[in-house]
Amino acid sequence: MNGAKVELRGLRRNFSGTAALDGLDLTIESGELIALLGPSGCGKTTALRCVAGFEQPDEGTVLVDGKDITRVPANKRDAGMVFQSYSLFPNLNIRDNVAFGLRVRKVPAAKRHARAQELLELIGLPHIGGRFPHQLSGGQQQRVALARALALEPRVLLLDEPLSALDAKVRVSLREEIRRLQLSLGITTIFVTHDQEEALSMADRVAVLRAGRLEQVADPATLYDRPATPFVAEFVGTMNRVPGRIDGNQVAVLGQTLPVDGDLPGTPDVDVLIRPEAVRLTPDAEAEGMVLVSSFRGSTAQLRVQLGDIEVLADVPGHDSVRLAPGTRVRIELVERPVLVSASSGATAAS
Ligand code: ATP
């Protein structure tokens, strides 16, 4: 199968005066898994619903393989969709749930049952065709919803927070499962999530939305290492924002002078964005810094350190959290260049 190319061009959608989409442009390549990521209300679901045909944009177009489908009804579009709630039909057994779309299209019973069985095998649940939704776990129901979405061999798969109702372990295993399936089928997939870890771990590219517009689209590593804006930098991963001062083409921050990648802001006072993993701590009874809190996470621990009137987050190896217990005086050293330097906002934060 060949996934479709999907283009969103200048999508606008207003709801009683509020712009859910405010000129969204985004191209999703054939066979790509793209995650739409952003805070609540930024327009992710509205964008997805415009592709599904459940929502009509006020302005702009949706193109599939170059063809304008903006006004094509949902049931005439070549897309399968999975929602956050499992949304299986409770009175139909699993086989009939999976085959539902085939029945609507009048595919003969024997053929649609064979196809349903094929799909149940694909999702690793070959023996549950005769059961009913209430007899399955949440994770199993969501796999069945995925099988149902794939039954008509759509060229676009639309996933709206499909994992957010599941518990953490199931969520992680289903992430892998969806990704594996998506890669093997080559189906173009748009995945809505507000969970940055989910987006970074599954997607070929992540599109960060803010107030109905595209803030940045990039592969996960680029988004993490080279965010284009402070918004992306602070939304994706954990970030320290500390005050600094431009010094030639470098920046003076936390008692060090570091090189800066990219453009420098025009002002001398700046916010310097630094990842916790770029902060090294050394116990030193004479130092000004002091560990306030330590959150042990297994292989790493995240420490919050007070330094004068600012606080800095540092990731250290998990076993170091013992010698860096709260109350320990520490020296702070930055071992990587800043992720981003921007004009000072006057506030400092670790987020
Ligand atoms: P969330 O992660 O909370 O689901 P989202 O990024 O998916 O958010 P949307 O659901 O697309 O955001 O909503 C964008 C904005 O449009 C929000 O302010 C929302 O309240 C509004 N909105 C969405 N659908 C409707 C609707 N049918 N009627 C009125 N307002 C709506």
| Smallest CA separation from ligand 1 atom 19, residue | 41
Count of CA atoms in the C-beta half-sphere (13 A) of 185:
26
3-state secondary structure the chain: CCCCCEEEEEEEEEECCEEEEEEEEEEECCCCEEEEECCCCCCHHHHHHHHHCCCCCCEEEEEECCEECCCCCHHHCCEEEECCCCCCCCCCCHHHHHCHHHHHCCCCHHHHHHHHHHHHHHCCCCCCCCCCHHHCCHHHHHHHHHHHHHCCCCCEEEEECCCCCCCHHHHHHHHHHHHHHHHHHCCEEEEEECCHHHHHHHCCEEEEEECCEEEEEECHHHHHHCCCCHHHHHHCCCCEEEEEEEECCEEEECCEEEECCCCCCCCCEEEEEECHHHEEEEECCCCCEEEEEEEECCCEEEEEEEECCEEEEEEEEHHHHCCCCCCCEEEEEECCCCCEEEECCCCCEEC
pLDDT tens digit sequence for 116-143: 999 999 999 999 999 999 999 999 999 9
The percentage of the chain sitting over the pLDDT mark of 70, rounded to a whole number, equals: 98
Cα 8 to averaged position of ligand 1 atoms, centre (Å)? 18
Q: Cα(179) to centroid of ligand 1, in Å?
A: 26
Look up the ipTM and state it: 0.94
193 lines ligand 1 (CB under 6 A): no
Whose structure tokens read 């066979």?
Answer: 31
If you take atom 17 of ligand 1, which residue's CA is the nearest one? 41
Cα-to-centroid distance, 131 and ligand 1 (Å): 35
37 Cβ closer than 6 Å to some ligand 1 atom: no
Residue 48 Cβ contacting ligand 1 at under 6 Å:
no
pLDDT of residue 1: 60
Q: Residues 226-237: what's their mean pLDDT?
A: 92
Q: Report the C-alpha gap between 177 and 297 in whole angstroms.
A: 25
Ligand 1 atom nearest 209 alpha carbon: 6
Tokens representing 325? 């217990």
Handedness of CA 86, 89, 91, 94 (dihedral sign): negative
Q: CA-CA distance, 159 to 48, in Å (whole number)? A: 8
Count of alpha carbons within 13 angstroms of residue 46, beta-carbon side: 25
Q: Does the beta carbon of 40 sit less than 6 angstroms from any atom of ligand 1?
A: yes
Task: Report pLDDT digits (tens) over 145-178.
Answer: 999 999 989 999 999 999 988 888 889 999 999 9
Number of the ligand 1 atom closest to the C-alpha atom of 194: 2
Chain segment 282-339, per-residue pLDDT in tens: 999 999 999 999 999 999 999 999 999 999 999 999 999 999 999 999 999 999 999 9
Separation of 84 CA from ligand 1 center, angstroms?
15
Q: How does the average pLDDT of the chain come out, rounded?
A: 93
| 123 ligand 1 Cβ < 6 A | no
Q: Domains of the chain, with CATH numbers?
A: 6-232 (3.40.50.300), 238-350 (2.40.50.140)
Q: pLDDT (tens digit, 9 = 90+) per residue, 172-214?
A: 999 999 999 999 999 999 999 999 999 999 999 999 999 999 9
- pLDDT single digits (tens) 241-268: 999 999 888 999 999 999 998 788 888 9
Rounded to two decimals, what is the model's pTM? Answer: 0.90
Alpha carbon of 144 to ligand 1 centroid (Å): 27
Specify the pLDDT at position 351: 59
**Cα of 114 to ligand 1 centre, how many Å?**
39
Could you tell me if 165 and 50 are in contact, meaning their C-beta atoms sit under 8 angstroms apart? no
CB 333 within 8 A of CB 280: yes
pLDDT reported for residue 264: 84
